[in-house]
Structure 1
Amino acid sequence: MTFYSFAKSVIYAIFKPWYRIEALGLEHFPMEGPVLLCANHIHNFDPMVVGIMAPRPVHYMAKEELFNVPILGNIVRKCNAFPVKRGFGDREALRTGLKVLKEGHVFGLFPEGHRSKTGELGKGLAGAGFFALRSNASVVPCAVIGPYKSFKKLKVIYGKPIPMEKMKQEKASAEEVTELIMEEIHKLIKEHR
């Protein structure tokens, strides 16, 4: 058993009953090939919750500061995360994200770039569109619907992959693609709230 599998099973055993997590739309999740998994961001636990409910291991970017914390940095790295310098375009992190997708893995991303203080969906950053346009990944929208309260139901909804062919043919910008991804996340939130 890998460290990732072990950590996932431990977190699942605690979080699933505590937050009464329900996953919907798992049938839409591609079981092979690269996947760009784009979710809204309402809580610090979102990466863990989206990850434990996904049927495949998920790789994430995590803020660089976490990797400098003794012990925690090592755990974060073993849980398929890689560092990103926030606040400006980190080329190394972009290359690593593309490599994750090129190798056929699942790359989880929160297009808003930070947690929503109000719980409402914010504006997405161009990064999601960049990865969607520069890879052959299936782009899967995901909605996390709270609240994060003990024994209150928390939903994680995986939507159908968003077709990217037309956007690529029309040479859409990263911003336009991100906008489309955010619209799909918004639809999932509206439909399941």
Structure 2
Amino acid sequence: MNFYSFARGLVNSILKPLYRIETRGTEHFPKEGSVLLCTNHIHNFDPPVVGITAPRPIYFMAKAELFKHPLSKKLMENIQAFPVKRGLSDREALRTGLKYLKEGKVVGLFPEGTRNTSGEVGKGLAGAGFFALRSNALVVPCAIIGPYKPFKKLRVIYGQPIDFTEMRENKISAEAATEIIMSEIRKLVVKNRNL
């Protein structure tokens, strides 16, 4: 068993009962091939919650600050995260993400770039659209619907994959591609908020 599987099992045993996590839509998740997983961001626990509910291992883009201390850097690398400098066009992070997608892996992003506790889905950054347009990945939108309160139900909803083939051919902008992704995440939140 590798460290990712061990950590996933450990986190699952703690968070799933604590937040009564309910997962829907995993049948939509492609079983193979590259996937760009884009999720709204409401809490610090979002990455592990998505990590334990997604059917495949995820390579998460994580803020560079988490890689500054040797211990946290080692942990991040062992759980398959890679650093991104926020507020900048981080070419190294973009190259790393594209490399994983070309290898047929799942890359996880929080396109809003920071936590949004309002319950609404904010504007996404162009990086999500860049990955969607520059790779052959299917894009899976995902909605996390809180609250993060012990023993209150937390929902993780995976939507239908978005195929960007036509949009790549039409050469739409990264910003426009990101807005398509964010729109799908918003729809998932609205549809499942009161269930």
Which TM bucket (shorter chain)? over 0.9
* 1:62-92 Cα distance to aligned partner (Å, 9 max, x none): 1111112242221111000011111211100
Supply the AA of the counterpart residue of 1:107: V
Match in the other structure for 1:47? 47
Instruction: Give the CA deviation at 1:117.
Output: 3.5
Match in the other structure for 2:86? 86
In structure 2, how many angstroms separate the alpha carbons of the residues matched to 1:110 and 1:4? 20
Supply the AA of the counterpart residue of 2:87: G
Alpha-carbon contact 2:136-2:165 (below 8 Å) kept? no
CA-based RMSD of the aligned residues comes to 0.8
In structure 2, how many angstroms separate the alpha carbons of the residues matched to 1:186 and 1:50? 17
Secondary structure at the residue paired with 1:22?
A: strand
In structure 1, how many angstroms separate the alpha carbons of the residues matched to 2:80 and 2:119? 26
1:184 aligns with 2:177: no
Give the unaligned 5+ runs of structure 2.
none
Secondary structure at the residue paired with 1:71?
A: helix
Supply the AA of the counterpart residue of 1:133: L
* 1:111-149 Cα distance to aligned partner (Å, 9 max, x none): 111110323210011111000000000100000000000
1:135 aligns with 2:135: yes
Secondary structure at the residue paired with 2:150?
A: coil
Supply the AA of the counterpart residue of 2:48: M
Give the unaligned 5+ runs of structure 1.
none
Once the two structures are superposed, the pairs formed by residues 33-112 of structure 1 within 5 Å of their partners are: 33-112=33-112
Alpha-carbon contact 2:62-2:83 (below 8 Å) kept? yes
Instruction: Give the CA deviation at 1:169.
Output: 2.0
The 4+ residue runs of structure 1 with deviation greater than 2 A are: none
In structure 1, how many angstroms separate the alpha carbons of the residues matched to 2:71 and 2:163? 41
Alpha-carbon contact 2:41-2:114 (below 8 Å) kept? yes
Match in the other structure for 2:15? 15
Once the two structures are superposed, the pairs formed by residues 115-134 of structure 1 within 5 Å of their partners are: 115-134=115-134
- Identical aligned pairs, as a percentage? 66
In structure 1, how many angstroms separate the alpha carbons of the residues matched to 2:122 and 2:85? 21
In structure 2, how many angstroms separate the alpha carbons of the residues matched to 1:117 and 1:23? 20
- So what's the TM-score if we normalise by structure 2? 0.97
In structure 2, how many angstroms separate the alpha carbons of the residues matched to 1:68 and 1:170? 40
In structure 2, how many angstroms separate the alpha carbons of the residues matched to 1:174 and 1:160? 20
Alpha-carbon contact 2:40-2:185 (below 8 Å) kept? yes
In structure 1, how many angstroms separate the alpha carbons of the residues matched to 2:26 and 2:12? 16
Secondary structure at the residue paired with 1:59?
A: strand
Count of aligned pairs: 193
